[in-house]
Amino acid sequence: MSTLLEKLALLADAAKYDASCASSGATRRDSTQGKGVGSAGGMGICHSYAPDGRCISLLKLLLTNRCLYDCHYCINRRSSNVRRAAFTSQEVVRLTLDFYKRNYIEGLFLSSGIVRSADHTMEQLVEVARTLREDHDFRGYIHLKTIPEASPGLIEKAARFADRISLNLELPVQESLDRFAPEKNLARTKQAMGRIRLRLDEAADRRKNGDRSLRHATGQSTQVIVGADASTDADFLARSEELYQSYRLRRVYYSAFSPIPEPSAILPAKPAPLLREHRLYQADWLMRFYGFQRSEITSASQPNLDLHLDPKLAWALRHREQFPLDLRTATREQLLRIPGLGPRNVDRLLAIRRHAPIRLIDLARLRVSLDKVRPFLITADHRPPAAELDSDRLLARFAPKPEQLELFC
């Protein structure tokens, strides 16, 4: 039998491969009219950062790392020799409240290995959330990982106590799941996401009509592992686009495969480049906030993103004929295509040009990288030399510096 600290070390270690840390977007509330502690709503807070650069916002735990499933990429799979442990629900409740009262965390992120059956496991997860909400009037953030194979009624119950629920897809195509996670099924996961979306829509309608009597989660998300199977970036982005559209996911998290102790023989030994994960997030953002179509980012002949160039710059270099754009006349949609300009700065530029013609100094004051944008735009005091866009020098200018790449190897 392990001590509480030993269990904490094991079951936090087992939970760290879940990238999701968001604690934003919950229904706004605080503890002033209540008996317990907690507030949520609006922007989440990152209470600490680990040396892996990831924020620590939630107490991220597994209820147990015993698991029936045998997913090869997972340290907790049935055939792994890792030490096993399990929390009681009271222990998790105690830790959550103790950490929360010291302002270490925004709330709890609870997941679990599958013990006995999906339903049995789901019941235990729901019980922790119920105890926190009902017995302790906890008003902080709760994210529950749900299991696609669990009965819809239990998932619905989870959504009643949690702010966010998520189902991990892990791999974007069924063929990869068959090979790496034989108990998981794409269609089952999508059906569970579809049911959750319907419940989320109903809850949003109730809130819109002023009915706040029924507590309900406000969003769902998922995670995929990048670099464990042979799926291309195009496979990932196609699946993400579908999931955003069909199930209104708040986020798809891309997690670069990182080696685990006790690995399975069919996995790659080396970690996937973190840069690939970064490029996927950039492409995901381009589709969601910049008006890019998926077909503009990847193609059948180039299904993977360029690791050396960010996908927006890569697009601009492929479409040099559309540049330079005149900042005085270009539309918002066009401005969003200029490498180095994001939605916020584009809106600021639109505000500036109502008063005066835009100059390079305006861009500098907005902290725009002039080196990056200069070849692509015209301002009142700047016009790039015609040769600049046509020449190969442009590519050379953005070519990676070798020592930067070293960082990610």
The dihedrals phi and psi of 171, each to the nearest 5 degrees, come to: -135, 145
Q: At its nearest, how many Å lie between another protein and the CB of residue 31?
A: 4
Q: At its nearest, how many Å lie between another protein and the CB of residue 126?
A: 20
Contact region with another protein (CB under 8 A), list: 85-93, 237-245, 313-321, 373-381: 237-245
* Angle, alpha carbons 105-111-117 (nearest 5°): 160
Q: What is the three-state SS of 321-363?
A: HHCCEECCCCCHHHHCCCCCCCHHHHHHHHHHHHHCCCCHHHH
Q: Work out the number of other CB atoms within 10 angstroms of the CB of residue 403.
A: 7
Strand ranges, E, within 70-187 = 107-111, 141-145, 164-166
Q: At its nearest, how many Å lie between another protein and the CB of residue 258?
A: 4
The dihedrals phi and psi of 143, each to the nearest 5 degrees, come to: -115, 120
Which of 95, 237, 252, 309 is the binder for another protein (CB under 8 A)? 95
Nearer to another protein, 116 or 318 (CB): 116
- Give me 121's structure tokens: 């496991």
Stated as kind and residue range, the H or E segment containing 49 is strand 48-49
Which of 83, 135, 153, 198 is the binder for another protein (CB under 8 A)? 198
Nearer to another protein, 50 or 386 (CB): 50
Contact region with another protein (CB under 8 A), list: 101-109, 206-214, 221-229, 333-341: 101-109
Q: What part of residues 378-397 is at the interface with another protein (CB under 8 A)?
A: none
- Closest to 21 (Cα-Cα) out of 84, 105, 87: 105
Which of 1, 300, 351, 387 is the binder for another protein (CB under 8 A)? 351
Identify the three-state secondary structure at position 184. Answer: coil
CA 324 to chain centre: 34
CA dist 58 and 89 (Å) reads: 17
Q: Does residue 101 touch another protein according to CB under 8 A?
A: yes
CA dist 305 and 400 (Å) reads: 15
Q: At its nearest, how many Å lie between another protein and the CB of residue 62?
A: 11
Which amino acid is located at 141 in the chain? Answer: Y
Q: At its nearest, how many Å lie between another protein and the CB of residue 52?
A: 4
Nearer to another protein, 174 or 369 (CB): 174
Nearer to another protein, 27 or 322 (CB): 27
Identify the three-state secondary structure at position 120. Answer: helix
| Residues touching another protein, count (CB under 8 A) | 93
Between the CA atoms of 84, 89, 95 and 100, what dihedral angle is there, to the nearest 10 degrees?
Answer: 130
Q: At its nearest, how many Å lie between another protein and the CB of residue 130?
A: 20
Nearer to another protein, 264 or 334 (CB): 264
Q: What part of residues 25-84 is at the interface with another protein (CB under 8 A)?
A: 30-32, 34-39, 45-56, 59-60, 68-70, 72, 78-81
CA dist 231 and 69 (Å) reads: 22
Q: Does residue 402 touch another protein according to CB under 8 A?
A: no
Show the binding pattern over residues 244-283: x = contacts another protein (CB under 8 A), - = does not: -xx-x-------x-xxxxxxxxxx-xxx--x---------
Q: Does residue 289 touch another protein according to CB under 8 A?
A: no
Residues 97/138, Cβ–Cβ less than 8 Å: yes
Nearer to another protein, 270 or 393 (CB): 270
Which of 214, 230, 361, 370 is the binder for another protein (CB under 8 A)? 361
Nearer to another protein, 104 or 390 (CB): 104
Nearer to another protein, 89 or 121 (CB): 121
Q: Is 163 left (phi over 0), alpha (psi -120 to 50) or beta?
A: alpha
Contact region with another protein (CB under 8 A), list: 192-200, 208-216, 297-305, 314-322: 192-200
